[in-house]
Amino acid sequence: MLENIEFANPQFFWLLLLLPLAILWYFFNRKKETPSLKISSLTAFGTNSLLAKLKPVLFFIRLLALALIITALARPQTEDISTRTKTTKGIDIVIAIDVSSSMLARDLKPNRLAALKDVAADFIKKRPNDRIGLVVYAGESYTKTPVTSDKSIVLGSLRGITYGELEDGTAIGMGLATSVNRLKESKAISKVIILLTDGVNNTGFIEPQTAADLATEFGIKTYTIGLGTNGNALTPIAYNRDGSYRYGMRQVEIDEDLLKEIAQVTGGEYFRATDNEKLEEIYDEINKLEKTEIEEFRYYKYEEKFRPLIFLAGIFLLLEWALRATLFKSFI
């Protein structure tokens, strides 16, 4: 209880230094205040020696009352702080995910698509104040989840993304155009696309440059990520009789010039992820670059605690006066 007490005027505690001086003054001067009479014997006076010894108690009761008054002047109080936050800058984000067969390559663990889903899920959880949507693309594209503030829906849709939903291929222009279509009517102050691919644009009826121009026209910033190691990667090349994939080494081909151009035209940045750790770092970097501004309001409520001290000090002063006027009257 006491550890929650704060003092608004702690400078008044310096007055407590006067109490030791008062005690010294009392002990040096109390004999001068009591008249003395030299006689041969006190037997005839019947003096109550116990009351005489207890007389200093009156002085200490007064000191205690004074200490309580000084503490009250320091204004002990408790502080209750309540906060309220207000999002002043909302961001709408669409994550465009390549789901072509090459995303099953095992240069990232356990494969590119699974690694991406894990990192993207962590990114989504770190954006509680933003609306996020998902677009998947391969040879064609579609909206997996419209932009929404319900992160449980987005995370559930992300977990459900698998290879085989779409015709194989890499239609970067289609994936980007679909993402722009999801954001073009957004009223958010900031609109962002995170587009990830591990290949080159080889299909689709919308050119990536055209989609990038559309993003620029609607004020949509695009961060592009090229996924895959430099060199060869263990990639599905055929099916086994049991339906599983047969893996073989294939050259990693990423159109980095195109991804850099898309990022530059739209005001974003291009990143290259060659392993799981680098992919995590990229999403962390984007998370830092796209900050949602949150305004915090703090409300302070103070409750004064000096009144009980004043009341108690008054009781002690009244007690001292009563004792002086009654029990100790003959010794004062």
Give the model confidence (pLDDT) of 118-165 as tens digits: 999 999 999 988 899 999 999 999 999 999 989 999 999 999 999 988
Is residue 323, in this structure, part of any structural domain at all?
Answer: yes
Instruction: Point out the least confidently predicted range of 93-97, 103-107, 193-197.
Output: 103-107
Domain identity same for 107 and 159: yes
Is residue 97, in this structure, part of any structural domain at all?
Answer: yes
Residue with tokens 């006190």: 42
Is residue 297, in this structure, part of any structural domain at all?
Answer: no
The strand order across the sheet containing 270-273 reads 141-148, 131-137, 91-98, 190-197, 220-227, 270-273
Domain identity same for 183 and 315: no
Tell me which residue of 109, 266, 242 sits closest to 177, measured CA to CA.
Answer: 266
Domain identity same for 76 and 117: no
- pLDDT, residue 6, reads 83
Residue 187 pLDDT greater than 50, yes or no = yes
Is residue 40, in this structure, part of any structural domain at all?
Answer: no
Core vs surface per residue 87-117: b (16+ CB within 10 A) or e: eeebbbbbbbbbbbbbbbbebbeebbbbbbb
CATH number at residue 113: 3.40.50.410
Domain identity same for 182 and 315: no
Q: Check if the beta carbon of residue 50 is closer than 8 Å to that of residue 327.
A: no
| Averaged pLDDT for residues 278-298 | 80
Amino acid at 162: T
Domain identity same for 180 and 146: yes
**In the structure, what pLDDT confidence band is assigned to residue 1 with cuts at 50, 70 and 90?**
very low
Instruction: Point out the least confidently predicted range of 9-18, 51-60, 304-313.
Output: 51-60
Domain identity same for 319 and 270: no
Q: What percent of the chain has pLDDT over 90?
A: 46
Domain identity same for 127 and 9: no
Is residue 277, in this structure, part of any structural domain at all?
Answer: yes
- Structural domain for 15, as ranges: 2-34+45-81+302-331
Core vs surface per residue 288-324: b (16+ CB within 10 A) or e: eebeeeeeeeeeeeeeebbeebeebbeebbeebeebb
Instruction: Point out the least confidently predicted range of 3-12, 75-84, 151-160, 264-273.
Output: 75-84
Q: Check if the beta carbon of residue 194 is closer than 8 Å to that of residue 132.
A: no
Is residue 184, in this structure, part of any structural domain at all?
Answer: yes
Domain identity same for 106 and 253: yes
Token output for 124: 């989504």
- pLDDT, residue 232, reads 85
Each residue's pLDDT tens digit, 263-286: 999 999 999 999 999 999 999 999
Which phi and psi angles does 40 have, rounded to 5°? -80, -25
| Averaged pLDDT for residues 83-100 | 79
Residue 204 pLDDT greater than 60, yes or no = yes
Instruction: Point out the least confidently predicted range of 109-118, 228-237, 259-268.
Output: 228-237
Across the strands, what pairs with 292?
A: none
- pLDDT, residue 32, reads 58
**What CA–CA distance (Å, rounded) separates 290 from 209?**
24
Domain identity same for 313 and 222: no
The model's pTM is 0.64
Residue 35 pLDDT greater than 60, yes or no = no
Domain identity same for 113 and 221: yes
DSSP E strands: which ranges in 167-218? 190-197
Domain identity same for 307 and 254: no
Alpha carbon distances (Å) from 265 to 117, 178, 213, 256, 258:
27, 18, 7, 14, 11
Domain identity same for 60 and 103: no
